[in-house]
């Protein structure tokens, strides 16, 4: 059977455009997250969707056994098949046989829980031990970071935790006892057994769930590396909870549930001969005449090189794997009878810019939980066994090349030398909202309830303070690493004494060039019940409904043709701006990279 690859001129153009955009700025926007950290009181009809997402992200996490790109993994859920439900997994360099064996052993336990053979509480420790055993190499690297904590940290804790301001923070009284555990971990052996790590993993879970505000108060500028290592250890406790919740609450999906891999395509090597002039080729598609030499000269200065063409040739010499998300997409293009009804891909780390762009323009409309917005050059579209699928991939790649060239031209003109902050690839993992420890259910759920109630009281106290009603809404470190799912508390609610309430605002949302894709949303329908503020996650959740706008991952909003909104910080700032201008009703258009680049090209042609 022939295999069709995007090669030749289409591949060269794509690689050249991607390489230029990467060198201009590898970060293509702010990291995004789509609703995984919804409130634990999610409506019943969304409970299954929420747990499926947590399950798949957690399953992909444990498939990625090392901290390298080779084991980055993705997972999908195929329901309603004669043989049962399939968890389809893919890794950048393929799923190892040993990994597949251990995943299937773990699934046997979950099938037993779903059938009633075991209770979730009976198997909670065993599930966690198996997860630790799978990822023990990766976990040991986090333990190494935690062991680096020095005695100076003990001094910081002792000096700050007794202060009156610190004691006002929720759980500040129990924080010293909890954090003291970190110093005992310095004495762990270099290769601890999975069984010996269970209590340490459960301890780490509380870092985000209970003591995040305390840690942020101790380290107000930036959390140290060892704190993020604790967050990442806690992911494995959350994964075990997500698995057991899913098996217990939606047991009919485990009829049985099986694990099957996708075979990864081989990595290919792309080289440029010394005769090739890739930089000149791509710049000529962006400019003409003397501008070409001027741009190349300016790029040489920015890159600090004497021979920019040789430098660019080296950048275009690449090893090109097919990322795990793309492998799954290709599998379902090749096997349409197995396409999931739930079009979500769980990922072990945030998806890259190119994967998100490709997924957003693919007709199957798969989504992921988050994207770090970094443009990786070691990427290629999947090969196809069907000529129609190949043509579809080639069209998407060609459109992406044109879009990247359009953005590169704008940045050559307006942003040359400027760069965005570089976000981390990994995350602190699936949130714990909506989950509980089965063997400590009443205690843990009480703690979560108290935390939510206390947070609500904090917001109410803040609203009563004498703060000017139009003060901009502050957000705690919006670009800090691993903070997609970390909570923040606004300094003030919208005052009832203002000329109008934010809940009176209405967004008329439309998709560019598609009049039938629209919705009208009252801001009161996206208010968070605990913080009292509008929720970006709830807005996105409404807009992703295919019966309305059908917003996709990677899209952003343009409010009244002038305010771009793509995350919670921008939404809150936009609403504050509209209130300052006394604007109640707003027209909102949904854009993506392709519509923006298309509009820019039309503007150039009309000019």
Of 351, 269, 383, the C-alpha closest to 316 is 269
Query: SS in 3 state form for 445-507?
Result: HHHHHHHHHHHHHHHHHHHHCCCCCCCCCCCCCCCCCCCCCCCCCCCCCCCCCCCCCHHHCEE
Tell me what percent of the chain is helix, strand and coil, each rounded to the nearest 5: 50, 10, 35
**Is 329 in contact with 360 (CB distance < 8 Å)?**
no
Rounded CA-CA distance 496/464 in Å is 11
Residues 6+ apart with CB under 8 A from 408: 17, 20, 21, 24, 282, 286
Which of 58-67, 280-289, 297-306, 483-492 shows the lowest mean pLDDT across its residues? Answer: 483-492
Residues 6+ apart with CB under 8 A from 94: 261, 263, 264
Copy the structure tokens of residue 496.
């009832």
For 413-421, what is the mean pLDDT?
A: 78
Rounded CA-CA distance 397/437 in Å is 45
Q: Give the pLDDT confidence of 111-124 residue by residue, as tens digits.
A: 999 999 999 999 99
Residue 464 reports pLDDT greater than 70: no
**Is 54 in contact with 37 (CB distance < 8 Å)?**
no
Rounded CA-CA distance 180/163 in Å is 17
Residue 598 reports pLDDT greater than 70: no
Q: Is the model more confident about 140 or about 556? A: 140
**Is 470 in contact with 580 (CB distance < 8 Å)?**
yes
Q: Give the pLDDT confidence of 506-521 residue by residue, as tens digits.
A: 999 998 877 788 899 9
Burial class (CB in 10 A: 0-12, 13-18, 19+), 456: middle
**Is 52 in contact with 346 (CB distance < 8 Å)?**
no
Q: Is the model more confident about 345 or about 30? A: 345
User: 216 falls in which pLDDT band (50, 70, 90)?
Assistant: very high
Of 127, 73, 95, 83, the C-alpha closest to 245 is 127
Which of 316-325, 413-422, 480-489 shows the lowest mean pLDDT across its residues? Answer: 480-489
Residue 127 reports pLDDT greater than 90: yes
Residue 76, classed as helix, strand or coil, is strand
For 43-65, what is the mean pLDDT?
A: 86
User: 176 falls in which pLDDT band (50, 70, 90)?
Assistant: very high
Q: Which residues of 251-279 are buried (b: 16+ CB within 10 A; e: fewer)?
A: bebbbebbbbbbebbeeeebebeeebebb
User: 452 falls in which pLDDT band (50, 70, 90)?
Assistant: very low
Copy the structure tokens of residue 323.
């990322």
Rounded CA-CA distance 346/330 in Å is 16
- Tell me the C-alpha to C-alpha distance, in Å, between residue 39 and each of 375, 423, 449: 31, 25, 11
Q: Give the angle 391-7-552 at the CA atoms, nearest 5°.
A: 50
**Is 62 in contact with 102 (CB distance < 8 Å)?**
no
Of 12, 22, 32, 5, the C-alpha closest to 423 is 32
Residue 41 reports pLDDT greater than 50: no
Give 121-128's long-range contacts (Cβ < 8 A, gap of 24+): 121/438, 121/439, 121/441, 123/244, 124/240, 124/241, 124/244, 124/437, 124/438, 124/439, 125/198, 125/439, 127/240, 127/243, 127/244, 128/198, 128/201, 128/202, 128/236, 128/237, 128/240
Rounded CA-CA distance 256/490 in Å is 46
Question: Given the DSSP bridges, would you call strands 514-522 and 506-511 parallel, antiparallel or unpaired?
Answer: antiparallel
Question: What pLDDT is attached to residue 331?
Answer: 97
């Amino acid at each position: 059977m022939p295999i069709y690859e995007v090669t030749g001129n289409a591949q060269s153009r794509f690689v050249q455009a991607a390489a230029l955009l990467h060198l201009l700025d590898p970060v293509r926007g702010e990291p995004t997250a789509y609703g995984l950290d919804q409130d634990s009181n999610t409506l019943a009809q969304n409970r299954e969707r929420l747990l499926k997402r947590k399950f798949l992200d957690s399953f992909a996490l444990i498939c990625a056994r090392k901290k390298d790109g080779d084991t980055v993994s993705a997972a999908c859920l195929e329901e309603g098949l004669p043989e049962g439900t399939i968890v389809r997994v893919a890794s950048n360099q393929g799923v190892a046989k040993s990994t597949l064996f251990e995943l299937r052993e773990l699934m046997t336990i979950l099938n037993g829980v779903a059938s009633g053979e075991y209770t979730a509480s009976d198997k909670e420790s065993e599930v966690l031990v198996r997860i630790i055993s799978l990822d023990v190499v990766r976990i040991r690297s986090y333990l190494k970071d935690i062991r680096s904590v020095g005695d100076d940290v003990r001094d910081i804790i002792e000096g700050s935790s007794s202060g009156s301001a610190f004691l006002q923070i929720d759980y500040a009284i129990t924080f010293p006892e909890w954090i003291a555990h970190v110093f005992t971990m310095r004495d762990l052996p270099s290769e601890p057994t999975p069984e010996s790590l269970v209590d340490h993993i459960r301890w780490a879970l509380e870092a985000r769930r209970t003591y995040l505000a305390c840690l942020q108060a101790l380290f107000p500028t930036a959390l140290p590396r060892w704190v993020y290592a604790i967050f990442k250890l806690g992911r494995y406790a959350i994964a075990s909870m997500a698995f057991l919740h899913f098996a217990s609450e939606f047991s009919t999906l485990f009829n049985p549930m099986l694990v099957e891999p996708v075979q990864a395509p081989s990595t290919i090597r792309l080289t440029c001969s010394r005769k090739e002039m890739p930089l000149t080729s791509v710049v000529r598609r962006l400019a003409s005449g003397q501008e070409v030499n001027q741009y190349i000269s300016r790029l040489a200065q920015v890159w600090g090189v004497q021979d920019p063409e040789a430098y660019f040739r080296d950048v275009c010499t690449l090893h090109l794997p097919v990322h795990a998300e793309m492998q799954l997409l290709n599998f379902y293009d090749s096997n349409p009878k197995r396409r999931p009804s739930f079009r979500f891909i769980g990922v072990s780390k945030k998806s890259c810019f190119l994967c998100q762009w490709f997924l957003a323009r693919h007709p199957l409309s798969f989504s992921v939980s988050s994207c770090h917005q970094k443009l990786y050059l070691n990427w290629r579209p999947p090969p196809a066994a069907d000529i129609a699928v190949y043509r579809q991939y080639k069209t998407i790649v060609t459109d992406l090349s044109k879009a990247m060239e359009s953005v590169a031209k704008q940045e050559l003109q307006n942003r040359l030398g400027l760069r965005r902050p570089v976000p981390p690839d990994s995350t602190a993992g699936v949130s714990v909202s909506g989950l509980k420890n089965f063997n400590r259910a009443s205690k843990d759920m009480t703690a979560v309830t108290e935390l939510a109630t206390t947070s609500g009281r904090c917001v109410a106290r803040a609203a009563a303070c004498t703060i000017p009603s139009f003060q901009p809404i502050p957000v705690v470190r919006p670009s800090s690493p691993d903070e997609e799912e970390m909570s923040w508390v606004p300094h003030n609610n919208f005052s009832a004494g203002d000329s109008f309430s934010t809940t009176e605002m209405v967004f008329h949302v439309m998709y560019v060039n598609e009049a039938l894709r629209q919705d009208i949303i009252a801001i009161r329908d996206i208010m968070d019940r605990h913080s009292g503020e509008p929720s970006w996650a709830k807005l996105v959740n409404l807009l992703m409904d295919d019966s309305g706008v059908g917003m996709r991952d990677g899209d952003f909003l343009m409010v009244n043709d002038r305010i771009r909104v793509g995350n919670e910080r921008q939404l809150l700032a936009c609403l504050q701006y509209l209130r300052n201008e006394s604007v109640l009703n707003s027209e909102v258009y949904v854009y993506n990279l392709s519509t923006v680049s298309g509009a820019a090209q039309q503007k150039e042609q009309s000019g």
